[in-house]
Amino acid sequence: MDRRTALAIGLTAAGALALGTSAWMTGADAASPDPQIGAPAPAFTAVDSKGQKVSLSDFRGKTVVLEWTNHDCPFVRKHYETGNMQALQKEATGQGIVWLTIASSATGEQGYVTGAEADALTRKRSAAPSAFLLDPQGGIGKAYNAKVTPHMYVIDPKGTLVYMGGIDDKPTTRHGDVQGARNYVREALAAMSAGKPIAATSTRAYGCTIKYSS
- On whether residue 157 sits in a domain, the answer given is yes
Q: Can you give the CATH number for the domain in which 85 is found? A: 3.40.30.10
- On whether residue 214 sits in a domain, the answer given is no
- Each residue's pLDDT tens digit, 60-114: 999 999 999 999 999 999 999 999 999 999 999 999 999 999 999 999 999 999 9
Same domain for 125 and 188, yes or no, is yes
- Let me know: does 86 contact 125? Beta carbons within 8 Å: yes
Same domain for 83 and 11, yes or no, is no
Same domain for 22 and 110, yes or no, is no
Same domain for 123 and 26, yes or no, is no
- Each residue's pLDDT tens digit, 138-184: 999 999 999 999 999 999 999 999 999 999 999 999 999 999 999 99
Same domain for 87 and 67, yes or no, is yes
Average pLDDT, the chain: 88
- On whether residue 93 sits in a domain, the answer given is yes
Same domain for 74 and 180, yes or no, is yes
Contacting residues for 60 by C-beta, under 8 A, at least 6 apart: 157, 159
List the beta bridge partners of residue 100.
66, 131
Instruction: Count structural domains, the chain.
Output: 2
- Let me know: does 83 contact 116? Beta carbons within 8 Å: no
- Each residue's pLDDT tens digit, 15-44: 332 333 222 222 333 345 789 999 999 999
- On whether residue 128 sits in a domain, the answer given is yes
Same domain for 93 and 175, yes or no, is yes
Kindly report the pTM of this predicted structure: 0.84
- On whether residue 100 sits in a domain, the answer given is yes
Domain residue limits at 66: 34-209
Same domain for 17 and 38, yes or no, is no
- Let me know: does 207 contact 150? Beta carbons within 8 Å: yes
Please report, rounded to a whole number, the percentage of residues in the chain having pLDDT higher than 70. Answer: 85
